[in-house]
Structure formats: C-alpha cells, structure tokens
Amino acid sequence: MKGCNSCRLEKGVCGSNCSCNPTQEGVPQYRDEGLLSALLANIELIKDARKGWSAVAAQPIAQGKFLCQYAGELISTAEAKRRLAVYDNLKAPCTGHALLVVREWLPSGDACLRINIDATRVGNVARFFNHSCGGGNLELVLVRCSGSPIPHVSMFARRPISAGEELTFQYGQPSGPSDAVQQIGEGMSIEKVERRACYCGAEECLGYLPVDSV
Ligand SMILES: C[S@@+](CC[C@H](N)C(=O)[O-])C[C@H]1O[C@@H](n2cnc3c(N)ncnc32)[C@H](O)[C@@H]1O
C-alpha cells in the first residue's frame, strides 16, 4: 500500500491533522505543540539506519532536568486499539509510530487510569525518543496540575547526560506496582504480534521492542 510521503503512514491513517509535505521528503513532519523551538537548541535529530530518527543531546544535560512533556493526541482506549492494529500491520519502512500507552495504577494495584497519547502525527520532540531495554537516560513522571484529572507525561533526565548521547527511555514500563505489567490484549497471543528487532545496544537488550499493549 502506498503511504504518505512524509509521515510514512498509509493514506487511511494519515488524516486531516497530518502536516505532510511531499516536497520535503525525508524530513520528519509533525505539528509542533509549542516546546520544540526552545528544545531544538539543546537537542539534535539524527537519522540512524536501523532505528530511524533519533534525538541526541547537543550539550550536557543535568540529572533531574525537565526536558519536555510527551505531547500528542490524547485519544480514547478504543481509538488507541484501532490505531495500534493499523500501525502493527504496517510494513517497513512504515514502522515508526509513536503511540504511548501509560497506566497510572492505584496504590492497591487493582485499577488504573490508562492514558493513550498518539504523537505519530501531532507531537513534539519527545516522539523522536527511541527505546532502550536498559531503561535509557530519561524517565517518565506523571505530573498532575491542579484541576486536571489527566496527568501530563513529563520527561526528566534520570542521570547526567553527556553531549552526543542519544536520549532514550524504556517503552512499555508500567507506572505503578512492579507486578502491574502491561498485558497483551484479550484474544491476542504473543505469536500473533510481529516482533520488531531492537537495536538499542544496551547490555540488557532483549533483542525485540516491547510489544504495544492493546
Ligand atoms: C516513538 S518512535 C521514535 C522515533 C523513530 N525512530 C522515528 O524515526 O520516527 C518509535 C519507533 O522508533 C523505532 N525505534 C525506537 N527505538 C528503537 C530501538 N531501540 N530499536 C529499533 N527501532 C526503534 C521503532 O520503529 C518504533 O516504532
């Protein structure tokens, strides 16, 4: 199926929000949600042959420094499931979706708030942060501003980061009790989900990207 020239998704997925510009093929296109211009002074985008676009620190970043929020379309779980099914069926090079699913668990571990943020077409620089099986150098913190029931997914440096280091975090990490792992969705077995090779290079690398939870 012929995909959109810019966001690389199939035409049906590439909707009215898409900022595709066929004349700039190869340049990642997305709608800047405000923080990007300030961040670009400190973060560079480079293209890796196997991982696609990667964000790299242009100068040292102190431990604990706030980098950005994970911006994107806040969508329902039903819509997230629909999109993930489409994304999972895309063949290379149409592989780089950026739909983040975060769960905020109650302390009891009995229930959670599921937050689905799709930065595939609309987002900020966070959509270029790749996965590391070793935990990466960024951590996601759920920050709730007064009056808002939905927390912001905020990204901080979890250790000092050197200039030239790629900015990564661990995809698929639960936010809550350690046994509250993400589940493969009902009716799906791990064999039915195409595993994508991971090239994070961490010692702990499992060889595959975490499977998106549906
Ligand atoms: C949120 S996007 C990150 C930016 C992406 N590299 C791009 O070019 O748009 C997530 C996608 O990047 C790729 N990716 C991220 N981390 C990776 C890794 N460790 N190894 C291989 N591919 C990776 C996968 O295609 C994944 O679906």
Beta strands 130-131; 43-48: pairing state: unpaired
Angstrom CA distances, 144 to 24, 116, 125, 172, stand at 38, 16, 21, 21
Label residues 103-128 b or e (16+ Cβ within 10 Å = b).
Answer: bbbeeeeeebeebbbbbbbbbbbbbb
214-76-121 Cα angle (round to 5): 85
Whether 97 lines ligand 1, by a CB cut-off of 6 Å, is yes
- The residue whose two tokens read 């510009």 is 21
The predicted model gives 76-98 an average pLDDT of: 80
CA of 9 to the centre of ligand 1 (A): 14
Probe target for ligand 1 pocket from 27, 118, 153, 209, with the most ligand atoms within 8 Å of CB: 209
Q: Among candidates 117, 87, 88, which has minimal Cα distance to 102?
A: 117
Report the pLDDT value the prediction gives residue 174, as an integer from 0 to 100: 53
Q: Are 82 and 39 in contact (CB under 8 A)?
A: no
Whether 105 lines ligand 1, by a CB cut-off of 6 Å, is no
Q: Are 75 and 58 in contact (CB under 8 A)?
A: no
ipTM here: 0.99
CA of 213 to the centre of ligand 1 (A): 16
pLDDT band at 4 (very low <50, low <70, confident <90, very high): low
The pLDDT tens digits of the residues spanning 148-188 come to 888 899 999 999 999 999 999 999 865 444 333 333 233 33
What pTM was computed for the model? 0.77
Angstrom CA distances, 65 to 34, 59, 62, 118, stand at 18, 13, 6, 24
Q: CB within 8 A of 36, min separation 6: which ones?
A: 124, 125
Q: Are 158 and 135 in contact (CB under 8 A)?
A: yes
- In ligand 1, the atom with minimum distance to the C-alpha of 48 is 6
* Whole-number Å distance between alpha carbons of 141 and 66: 10
Position 62: which residue type? A
The predicted model gives 59-63 an average pLDDT of: 93
Angstrom CA distances, 132 to 111, 141, 203, stand at 27, 17, 10
- In ligand 1, the atom with minimum distance to the C-alpha of 53 is 8
The predicted model gives 116-137 an average pLDDT of: 94
* Whole-number Å distance between alpha carbons of 188 and 84: 13
The pLDDT tens digits of the residues spanning 20-56 come to 444 344 444 544 444 554 455 589 999 999 999 999 9
**Helix runs in the chain, H state only:** 36-39, 77-89
In CATH, what number does 35-168+184-192 get?
A: 2.170.270.10
Q: Where is pLDDT greater, at 65 or 106?
A: 65
Alpha carbons within 13 angstroms on the beta-carbon side of residue 53 total 22
